[in-house]
Amino acid sequence: MRHGHKASKGKFNGHKAQVLIDETSEIIMNIAVTPGNEADGDALAACWKIIWSNLVR
């Protein structure tokens, strides 16, 4: 279990779900589960890298 806090009052336990959805078709393109204390930008870069590698084939 991950523990953290965004501010002195805002504590959290657990993980985050990162979901990438195509706005036009509303199809889920990628899903990732990350630790609660990991920055969202890091997960987004990894998700895009996986999607891009599958599209360029």
Task: Report which of residues 40 and 5 the model is more confident about.
Answer: 40
Q: Are 18 and 44 in contact (CB under 8 A)?
A: yes
Neighbours of 43 (CB within 10 A): 19
The residue extents of the domains of the chain are 12-55
Structure tokens at 4: 């953290």
Q: What is d(CA 4, CA 52) in angstroms, rounded to the nearest whole number?
A: 32
Quote the pTM value: 0.58
Distances (CA, A) of 22 to 37, 55, 57: 26, 14, 19
Over residues 2-27, the pLDDT tens digits come to 566 666 666 667 888 888 888 999 99
Q: What is d(CA 35, CA 24) in angstroms, rounded to the nearest whole number?
A: 29
